[in-house]
Every structure is written in C-alpha cells, then in structure tokens.
Structure 1
C-alpha cells in the first residue's frame, strides 16, 4: 500500500552508490542546502547508523524518528521506534515525512513511498552501501534540474519522482 505522505530523499551515484564507511560519497553544498530546504519543518525517518553519521543532531526544525532493533536505546531529541510500522504510525498525521536512510531503511520504505527527491551524480563511486531497489519504470519524472559541480568537476541532477 502506497503511503501518500511518505517521501524518500537520497543522493546517489549513477552506479546506485549512496555511502561508504557510514558517510556521504561526495560533498555538494547545494545538495545539502536543498536537503535542508525540503525537509525543514517535517519529520525525518532514519536508521540508527544514519543518525550517528550526522555531524550534529538533532537537525534543527525537524522531528527525528529513528528506527532501531534495540528496544532499550534512546537518542536525545529523537523519537525511537523498533519497526517501520511504528514509524508510519508516528507520522500518520504529517502532510509529508522524509525517509533519509540508510540503505536498509530505503529498501524497506521503497515499496510504500509516493515520492523520491533524488540527487543523481552522473558518475560512479566506490561504496559499501547502494540503493539497488530504485527502478525508474516505477516512477514519473515530476521535475529535473541538471547542474555542474565546478569544484568536484562532475555533473549531477535534482530529480523529483512521483510513483506511477
């Protein structure tokens, strides 16, 4: 069942890579600003490792929902749940909630999310975490902005996808 208020936001290389050693693969200041603008004022859903990878948390002006299998763990400024179903229950009244990672959390939410805010970098990266479930046949492109990062010398795109 698709949850109309659940969106994923992810930065991904063309080979599906999204992370390495619990960190981002590339530093795109514009993408970080986009992430902040899109998610600000909303709930963000993530796994424990994604929370711990943030340089500082909780992120301002966002409700943090952390999924962890350890029922005894709590994180200051965050709501902790032990299942996707519990996370969905927490955000059922939100207009839009954002899944921000990591790889396993993306895979579990993929079948039920209605929208993806994708930053796609047009080159391959070495990684240990991939978003392998993304099938562009499942989606219509709502908008696209193609950009060039001068510092890193690669092209990337902001692509908003709506489930077909």
Structure 2
C-alpha cells in the first residue's frame, strides 16, 4: 500500500529551507508511530535536510535523478516506477514523506493520506501540492493535545481514496 504522510499549516506550508518550520513533538511521535517497521520515501533534499541519515526502524528510500548519488543505510532509487515496483513487493506501507515535488508525483498512486493540520501560519518556502479533496473521504479526525511542549492547536486527519463507480 502507498500512503502520503505530512504536516502542514493552515496555508498549506510544509517546509522552510528543507526543514519543518515548526516544532511539534506530538506530530513527530505520530510520524514515528505510523512509519516504524514500514518504508519512507523522500527526495534527496528532504533527506539531506534531516541530516542525511536514515530514521531508525524503517527502510528509507531516497528518490533522486542523480545516478551517482549514494547514502549510507538507504535505498537510492531514480524513478517513480522503481518506487511503485518496490511498494508492490513490500508487505507493509510505503509512506511518501516529502518534499513537495515527490508528494505531487505520488499523490495519484496513494491509497491513504495522513495529514496533520497545524492551526497556525508559518513562514515557509514550500507548500503541499494541490489535492482534489473530492477524490478522498475523511475516515478519521482527532484533535492533538496542546501543552507546554506542543504550543499550537493541531489535528490528525486520515483520508481514504474514494472508489470511482463511474
């Protein structure tokens, strides 16, 4: 199964200089909980923005056009088709996890979307690509706990692709 997972502010901002423009520990915990023992796919810039190191307890795929690119502890792939073939052969969930162009490339193939909406506006240089929400059904919504470590109101949303009956 292919799924996308991301956090965004109310304006759709997802990044600033290849990093998250906010600190929200509960969203990081959610990301960890969802992706552990699965696979995450990200572009080279996103990977390098998180220190060029794979996250523990999950397989990391770095997608890049650079045929010479290498990074320790990850699988480097170069095409959408290679990632889709991997996802078909993987028994768990293959999570698309950034950046914007990678999300845009894979949204047509995703079965599920996991979106965290932070009820605040942040300065950033990267937005989540357009989603035709008519194609998706909200199947879960839960409010996140706001506390001294998690300063912003936020919610977790899960969407499933609607089956086309035409």
For 2:123, the equivalent position in structure 1 comes to 126
Are 1:51 and 2:47 matched, yes or no? yes
Are 1:36 and 2:32 matched, yes or no? yes
Conservation of the 8 A alpha-carbon contact between 2:52 and 2:71: no
Conservation of the 8 A alpha-carbon contact between 1:110 and 1:133: no
TM-score (norm 2): 0.90
Conservation of the 8 A alpha-carbon contact between 2:116 and 2:157: yes
Moved over 4 A (4+): none
- In terms of mean alpha carbon deviation, does 131-140 or 15-24 score higher? 131-140
For the aligned residue pairs, the C-alpha RMSD in angstroms reads: 1.4
- In terms of mean alpha carbon deviation, does 29-38 or 133-142 score higher? 133-142
**Alignment gaps of 5+ in structure 1:** none
Measured after TM superposition, the shift of residue 148 of structure 1 is: 4.7
Q: Is the partner of 2:85 in helix, strand or coil?
A: helix
For 2:96, the equivalent position in structure 1 comes to 99
Conservation of the 8 A alpha-carbon contact between 2:62 and 2:76: yes
Please identify which structure carries the higher strand content.
1
